[in-house]
Amino acid sequence: MPFRASWTQRALADELMETRTSRGLSIRDVAESIAPKWHNSKVSRIESARTKVSAADVRALGAVYEVDDETIARWVEMARDSITDAWWERYERWLTPTFIEFLAYENEAARAWSVQHMFMPGLLQTPDYIRALHTVGPIRDPGRNDAEYEVRIRRQRRLTEPDPLTFNALLAESALHWQFGSRAIMHAQLRHVREISELENVSVRVVPFARPVTIYPTDMFEPGSTGLIPGC
């Protein structure tokens, strides 16, 4: 299976390249400064996130770049903590590149925000609600529907795993009224949102009709202390 860099790995690769260039060093300079000597291609692969960088690698690079201990410790943590469990690879034939990138961000996020005005956020949808959504619009390949269903159910594990995602949902009241499927499906969906919002890591807020504001559907992820990443 080809290597797929996580968001953390790509961020680390970018920072390593920026540090090298700020020191006025070429890839060859770096490769020849490390003992035992590295091939130029190793430095290039690390900086382009085409290979996983290890804690030993970043320590060696940190020594060449003469960065402080705090920076090296942070690089080591990024190398160790990067998530590479791309569980969605088995479904890729049915997923768009944009959605695959979305899944990678969500998989690594510590916190996430979702703003919706028509649909329930994917992390809060019940199985029946998901199936009902697939009946809306043009008829699609059943295999694609099944894949998207399984992916959405798998994504929801992030809310209840040992180190859960902190999830904040902001819904327009209209999202509570758009009916997908039967009334029973919608009632069960609303009960599910109420129940799951009782988790300490889940917050659901609703903008009422009486307080209209402009809402655009969006998702944002925060992988840690490095800032927000817009989602899909």
d(CA 97, CA 215): 26
pLDDT value at position 226?
A: 45
Q: Give the domain 7-81 fold.
A: 434 Repressor (Amino-terminal Domain) (1.10.260)
Residue type, 98: T
Residues with Cβ within 8 Å of residue 86, at least 6 apart in sequence = 4, 104, 107
* Closest to 158 (Cα-Cα) out of 123, 128, 129: 123
d(CA 194, CA 189): 9
Find tokens 């944009």 and name the residue: 98
DSSP code for 210: T
d(CA 67, CA 70): 8
d(CA 114, CA 106): 11
**pLDDT, tens digit only, all 232 positions of the chain:** 456 677 778 889 999 999 999 999 999 999 999 988 899 999 999 999 888 888 899 999 999 999 999 999 989 888 875 555 678 888 889 999 899 989 988 988 889 999 999 999 999 999 999 999 998 877 778 888 999 999 999 999 999 887 789 999 999 999 999 999 999 999 999 999 999 999 999 999 999 999 888 888 999 999 764 445 555 4
Residue type, 4: R
How do the domains of the chain map onto residue ranges?
A: 7-81, 87-230
User: Is the pTM higher than 0.75?
Assistant: no
Q: Which residues pair with 219 in a beta bridge?
A: 114
pLDDT value at position 51?
A: 85
